[in-house]
Structure 1
Amino acid sequence: MTASTVLLAPDKFKGTATAAQVAAALARGITATAPDATLVSCPIADGGDGTLDAALAAGYSQHTTTVTGPTGEPRTARWAFDAENDTAVVELAETVGLQALPAGDLAARTASTRGLGELILAAARHGARTVMVGLGGSASTDLGAGLLQGLGARLLTCDGQPIGPGLDGLASLATADLTPALAALSATQLEIASDVTSPLLGPYGAAAVFGPQKGLSPAEVSEADAILKHAAHILDASDTHRDQEGAGAAGGTGFALLLLGAQPRSGADAVLELAGFDAHLDQAQLVITGEGALDEQTLRGKGPVEVARRATARDLPVIAVAGVVELDEEPLREAGIERTWDLVSRATSSADAMDRTAQLLEEVGREIGQWITEHGASDAPCSTPGTESGPLP
């Protein structure tokens, strides 16, 4: 048969494998049983952690800058730069992500986004005219106050002293002057890459939705919402941005970026664009996507669904591989995904699947490769979607 071109466009399997590692493991399996297939790797993300890796995989050059970590310690953070287009990509998770916390200890009240502001400033000083900021996995609920301080903004207490870090520091905010931060970005346009649509305040806001995973107790969530409301009014007296979609992203960091004139974008759409995904589609006969869990969140604009939307618009078949599949046939087909394979059903437990992610991905890849060898990628498997644990028909 004619050799097939298979586009591998997975998102990360959070906690076990990066998107690039997922693509590589699948590729090893497919090559073992379909050696004539042409494999094109295009790791993706949806604006959260993994966005930076997607930019680097797309050919952006890697840079590092020493910034302030989430609890004040120096931290070396990566960022990516495309010199041809003067475009940089920075990722919140590099500076104030949960994995950036020392010893993994939560710091719900004191974690600061200052390092993210310092990282943006480094990119702007390097010559970036556009800086895409990937939001996701934040350890903080500081309204992006630290970010603003990292860019030079003056956020002061009633005594005229700079406020302290994190939510606790934000509680003492009395006056704010964003002029230095705006001046530092006078030649730079910010873009927000995120699919979080939460407003800043209320039951669907930054504290209520995301605070508990950062360590806030139920009583502290209510207090945090009040602090955010008070501080947001000082920073934006017109209350223009607090109800805007995405203002609550990353503990309110979305709000701070909106104050700086950042343009919101779908995270998945932005990352696929920088990865040159559409150009890869031109050569593909089959598209393979996936992520750690295919669930209701997937359907809300996350990476695999955007991959499927673009591929099916060109009548290309799409299959998906996930750690676990929680969606039924109908929503999968409506999203453009014709069939799925999961890893959990191949393992003795969820923990075992996480421990053996690479091995199980290779196993799935071999099955997909066998099917390609027998039938060709353009005739994608069209049986009922769902978890698959046995060999392909």
Structure 2
Amino acid sequence: MKIVIAPDSFKGSLTAKQAAEAIHTGLQRVFPEADYEIVPMADGGEGTVQSLVDATQGTFKRADVLNPLGETVSAEYGLLGDQRTAVIEMAAASGIQFINDETKNPLITTTYGTGQLMLDAMHHGAQEIVIGIGGSATTDGGQGMAEALGVKFLNSAGDPIKRGGGGLGELASIDVSAVDPLVAQTKIRIASDVTNPLVGPKGSAAVFGPQKGATPEMVPVLDANLAHYAAIIKQTLGKDLADYPGAGAAGGLGAGLLAFTQSQMEKGVEIVVRETHLKERAVGADLAFTGEGAIDFQTQYGKTPMGTAQAVKAASPHAKVIGVAGNVGEGIDQLYDLGIDAIFGILPGVVDLPTAIQTGQANLARTAENIARVIK
């Protein structure tokens, strides 16, 4: 029997690798002779670096960069086992965890540190970068990121504009003549499931700005500034990004990456499936176990369990895919027609959240063992 174990992290409790090991422990009690493929997974959000480094026997790198408020911090990214692909979570440098109720202000927060991480990866030999762009504290359209790569954003006097969404209103011209040569030689794969445009009622400022500190008065200012920014990009580079699906992701970082790097948008879980060679490793599988902290109706929209199930089914159509989760929510019935064959909660009874988090490993191993006993 061949069994694929490919869960995401159980947020706050287990990394994807730890979750996979717990499932493996439980299954081995029943099927000690089975052939196991253990593939830690992610969907482009938090935990993607950890999962891909674990799955490819890669290494971690650190660099001193600027956080959204311009303070120096040490941020981590991964270099995968092929030693040519880097994986970065923009939140490591520009995430919302760096701000609080007193400091959050998308008029000044910047993605400059994300660009610094990208440049560091390039100078460590990365020819391709996978960048997950969730959890940002910014609404600067990726201007800071691009500035770190060497792009100059100038006002009408020829001076650099201020970083942050507020500075974009001063933008008069863009100069790309000093961009690091490695940027043009590096393929950027943007891991994002967000389809919002850069501007407008469904744009970055209107939809995501308030959670980053934008007041009702700030939102129209930020939206107008991003529209102006998009117009200057179109005028300078010939790229029309104002309404481009996904350009509004991570405060417009999607637009900045599309404008100033050799990049393309992809679903996060599809990138992870490809980088981990999940389909190839699932050939001939009889069973597959996947899961994450919660499985519900949203799982069908690009979440790890669904992406994993579809990849396994593509490789081995007769394999049965089992989902496990700390919380099983509403609307799971529709998942059964999309590739997941059964879904199980792992909690032994009614417990508070701290207890559930603390006992995640034991609960996951026990549940996997019990499922295996039924199968046997």
How high is the TM-score relative to the length of structure 1?
0.85
**1:41 corresponds to 2:44:** no
After superposition, the Cα gap between the structure-2 partners of 1:28 and 1:108, relative to the gap in structure 1 and judged at 3 Å, is farther
Q: Residue 311 of structure 2 aligns with which residue?
A: 310
* Residue of structure 2 in register with 1:66 after alignment: 64
Shift of 1:153: 0.8
- Describe the superposition over 1:54-79 as per-residue Cα deviations: whole angstroms up to 9, x where unpaired: 22112122211111112111121222
Q: Which residue of structure 2 lines up, in the alignment, with residue 384 of structure 1?
A: none
Inter-CA distance 102–6: structure 2 relative to 1 (3 Å threshold): farther
Is 1:291 aligned to residue 292 of structure 2?
yes
Of the three residues 191, 210, 217, the one matched with 1:212 is: 210
The sequence identity of aligned pairs, in percent, is 36
Question: How much does 1:249 deviate?
Answer: 1.0
**Residue number in structure 2 paired with 1:391:** none
1:333 aligns with 2:347: no
Partner of 1:192: 190
Equivalent residue number for residue 152 of structure 1: 150
Residues 30-55 of structure 1: CA distance to partner in whole angstroms, max 9, x if unpaired?
A: 44565555544312111222221122
1:10 alignment partner, SS class? coil
The correspondence of residues 139-288 of structure 1 with structure 2, limited to 5 A, is 139-181=137-179, 183-237=181-235, 238=238, 240-259=240-259, 260-282=261-283, 284-288=285-289
Equivalent AA in structure 1 for residue 130 of structure 2: M
Q: Deviations over 1:74-107 (max 9, x none)?
A: 1212222247462222221111112244799534
In structure 2, runs of 5+ residues without a counterpart are none
Give, in angstroms, the shift of residue 309 of structure 1: 0.9
Aligned to 2:113: 115
Aligned in 2, Cα 1:227/1:20: closer, same or farther, shift over 3 Å?
Answer: same
Look up the SS of the partner of 2:6 in the other structure: strand
| AA in 2 matched with 1:123 | A
Could you tell me which of 346, 349, 354 is aligned with 1:346? 349
The count of aligned residue pairs is 370
- Residues of 1 paired with 2:139 and 2:29: CA distance? 47
Q: Is the 8 A contact 2:2 2:35 kept in 1?
A: yes
Deviates more, 1:321-330 or 1:113-122: 321-330
Q: What displacement does 1:125 show? A: 1.7
Change over 3 Å in CA distance of 1:224–1:188 after alignment to 2: same
In structure 2, how many angstroms separate the alpha carbons of the residues matched to 1:276 and 1:169?
Answer: 43
Distance 1:155 1:247 in 2: 19
Of the three residues 8, 12, 21, the one matched with 1:11 is: 8
Letter in 1 for 2:273: L
Tell me which residue corresponds to 1:20.
17
One-letter amino acid of the counterpart of residue 257, structure 2: L
Preserved contact between residue 273 and residue 311 of structure 2 (Cα < 8 Å): no
Q: CA deviation at 1:342?
A: 3.0
Q: Secondary structure at the match of 1:179?
A: coil
Where structure 1 has 5 or more consecutive residues not aligned to the other structure, the ranges are 377-393
Alpha-carbon distance in structure 2 between the residues aligned to 1:374 and 1:344: 18
CA positional deviation for 1:335: 1.9
Q: Provide the C-alpha distance between the structure 1 equivalents of 2:191 and 2:120, rounded to a whole number of angstroms.
A: 19
Matches within 5 A, 1:131-142: 131-142=129-140
Shift of 1:117: 0.7
What does residue 125 of structure 2 align with? Answer: 127
CA distance in 2, matches of 1:140, 1:279: 38
Q: Superposition pairs for residues 87-126 of structure 1, below 5 Å?
A: 87-101=85-99, 106-126=104-124
Change (3 A) 1:367 1:129: closer
Shift of 1:204: 2.0
With over 3 angstroms needed to count, the CA separation of the structure-2 counterparts of 1:343 and 1:30, relative to structure 1, is same
Q: What letter corresponds to residue 365 of structure 1 in structure 2?
A: A
| Partner of residue 56 from structure 1, selected from 53, 59, 62 | 53
Rate the CA distance shift 1:26–1:182 in 2: closer, same or farther, 3 A.
same
- For residues 320 and 13 of structure 1, the distance between their equivalents in structure 2, rounded to whole angstroms, comes to 13
Higher mean Cα deviation, 16-25 or 271-280? 16-25
1:338 maps to amino acid: D
Deviation at residue 354 of structure 1 after TM alignment = 4.8
CA displacement, residues 314-333 of structure 1 (integer Å, 9 cap, x when unaligned): 22111112232334353111
